Chains A and B, each alone.
Chain A
Amino acid sequence: MSGARPARSRVAGALLDAAAAAAFWPRAAGATLRGPPLVDTVLLTLRLVVTSVPVVFAVTFFSGAMLTVQAAASLAPFGGGALAGIAVGFGGIREVFPLLAAASVAARSGAEIASQLATMRVTKQIEALEVMGLDPLRLLVGPRIVAAVVGTPVCVLVGCGAGMLGAQAIGAWQLGLDRGAMWSNLWSGIVAADLVVGALKGLVLGFLLGAVSAREGLVAGAGARGVGSATNRAVIRALVVVSCASLALSSAIYGRLAG
């Protein structure tokens, strides 16, 4: 079906769709400012944090563990264990753990936002709201965006802690490094500002992943198939947007320090 169309129109279609998706972001921001319903907002925020935190914990704990095993092996010629702790702590807190935490929130809660809104679209609940003169953006999208914006920084900080615990657990138990030295090496490259930057990145990434997921849910196609492919598109687009935005934020914040 799509293979029959010439490549140029497919690229143009993809770009148009990306532009339409980006055009939704200001509308999503507007929806949060029009006063989303309080009770829904609080419940959805709690739900996002409670359901995403275990996923974030598992993902970042094992990525901390994996990075430590890898770094200890790679950095052995440069002085091994001490440098591995510093590198994992530094690279993990600044980049890897926030990015993976946001990706996990996108996978757990972003996909859920998309599949809920898509189900409502497919079962005509959103049209029903519109017919009754109610604003689905304010009632449905607003609370979910607020939940993502509030919940993602929490998840980023949990992810930073879990990643450090993973690195420490592997360093101490599997690689046999000194526990106290490992823990202080891990934190030696980090200042409090890095955690603040991580949380701020979490705010932005949370808004983006919430808006991307909500948009994909709202434009879902018909039937069970539409819900499935909306969920799929939401997850992968959120991942792409989150990793590009994470790079943009990092280079804006840390770029001039390196130069």
Chain B
Amino acid sequence: MRALALFGRPALALFAGAGRVIAFAPPAALRALGSGHGARAAVSQAVSIVARCAAPVVLVCGPIGAMLALQGLTLMRTFGVERALAPLCVATIVRELAPGFAAVVVAMQGGAGIAAELGAMRAADELDALEVMGIDPRAEVAGPRILGAAVAAPLLNGLAMLCGVVGAWVMAVPILGVPNTLFLGTALDGVTAADVWLSAAKTVLFGAALGAVCASAGFFAERSAAGVGRAANRAVVASVILVLVFNYLCNTAIFGLRGGALAL
């Protein structure tokens, strides 16, 4: 009985939370799209998320690209396939690391910001004030932020790709002594335009999902300073997990179909 409660309570809370997000976010985003002011606010939200996340994306994705090149080269020199370094690094960055870590940065910076902002508005009774004035806070406050995250994530994904590849180049060529012509000559062998588009499409999905989770965490926050902190904390954790789960599901949808036909 106690074990049932131990696992049942979090599971029920999880389902309740998911249900609340699903009931809250899509109507909010659609209503924001429908109203002219909401759509304009979404653009300015996207601009502000990009501006706030750009520096962290550079600082996170540059080192990750460099780390990939460092460990990739260690592994490839063992197998004597140094010339596969650049294509594999670029492919891994474009397909996985850039969308994954760009989305994590958007969750931690933009998403936590959305939750904190909406939570503070809830705690200060500002959302109720809007409602009293006949303005729908879902369409005017929450919706634009969800849309903004969905627009900002692919833009930051492009920045993350660039920084990751530059980080990998810095580690591989000047530091580890891979010939520059070899790196640059083979860099684009591993990716196609379809990879870039799929990666961008993934991040639109991640951005919308994390925007939805963070907006509803903030919107339904408890009305206290501590409640706002807890809402931001919960929003970050839930959206990071969600991004990784979605990333796996997207990969399975994209590659899993082909994966069955791998010559193993």
What are 9 A-to-B residue pairs whose CB atoms are below 8 Å?
A58-B241, A58-B244, A69-B255, A69-B259, A78-B81, A91-B75, A174-B259, A224-B119, A224-B228
Name the distance in Å between B141's Cβ and chain A's nearest Cβ.
Answer: 15
Which residues of chain B are within 8 angstroms of A232 by Cβ–Cβ distance?
A: 108-109, 112-113, 116, 232
Interfacial residues of chain A within 122-136, with CB under 8 A of chain B in the complex: 122-123
Contact check, A62 vs B67: say whether CB atoms are below 8 A apart: no
Binding site for B on A (CB under 8 A): 55, 58-59, 62-63, 65-67, 69-70, 72-74, 76, 78, 80-81, 86-87, 90-91, 94-95, 99, 103-104, 107-108, 111-112, 114-116, 118-119, 122-123, 174-177, 189, 223-232, 235-236, 239-240, 243-244, 246-247, 250-251, 254-255, 257-259
Contact check, B259 vs A258: say whether CB atoms are below 8 A apart: no
Contact check, B226 vs A76: say whether CB atoms are below 8 A apart: no
Contact check, A70 vs B92: say whether CB atoms are below 8 A apart: yes
Contact check, B63 vs A236: say whether CB atoms are below 8 A apart: no
Name the distance in Å between B50's Cβ and chain A's nearest Cβ.
Answer: 14
Which residues of chain B are within 8 angstroms of A236 by Cβ–Cβ distance?
A: 56, 105, 108-109, 112
Of B29-37, B151-159, B246-254, the one touching chain A: B246-254
Q: A69-B255, A115-B229 are in contact. Are A224 and B120 (CB under 8 A)?
A: yes
Contact check, A76 vs B229: say whether CB atoms are below 8 A apart: no
CA distance A69 to B75 in the complex (A): 19
Binding site for A on B (CB under 8 A): 56, 59-60, 63-64, 66-68, 70-75, 77, 81, 84, 88, 91-92, 95-96, 100, 104-105, 108-109, 112-113, 115-117, 119-120, 123-124, 171, 175-177, 190, 224-233, 236-237, 240-241, 244-245, 247-248, 251-252, 255-256, 258-260, 262-264
CA distance A66 to B247 in the complex (A): 7
Q: A228-B119, A229-B116 are in contact. Are A55 and B241 (CB under 8 A)?
A: yes
Contact check, A59 vs B244: say whether CB atoms are below 8 A apart: yes
Contact check, B232 vs A115: say whether CB atoms are below 8 A apart: yes
Contact check, B75 vs A116: say whether CB atoms are below 8 A apart: no
Q: A227-B226, A244-B63, A258-B70 are in contact. Are A103 and B237 (CB under 8 A)?
A: no
Name the distance in Å between B29's Cβ and chain A's nearest Cβ.
Answer: 22
- Which of B123, B177, B259 lies at the interface centre, i.e. has the most chain A CB atoms within 10 A of its CB? B259
Contact check, B233 vs A108: say whether CB atoms are below 8 A apart: yes
Q: A91-B71, A229-B116, A247-B67 are in contact. Are A70 and B251 (CB under 8 A)?
A: yes
Q: Known A-B contacts: A65-B248, A108-B237, A228-B119. Give 20 more (CB < 8 A).
A: A62-B247, A70-B96, A74-B92, A80-B264, A91-B68, A91-B71, A107-B108, A111-B236, A116-B226, A116-B229, A223-B120, A223-B225, A224-B225, A226-B225, A227-B225, A229-B113, A247-B64, A250-B70, A255-B70, A258-B70
Which residues of chain A are within 8 angstroms of B112 by Cβ–Cβ distance?
A: 111, 231-232, 235-236
Contact check, B56 vs A81: say whether CB atoms are below 8 A apart: no
Which residues of chain B are within 8 angstroms of A69 by Cβ–Cβ distance?
A: 248, 251-252, 255-256, 259
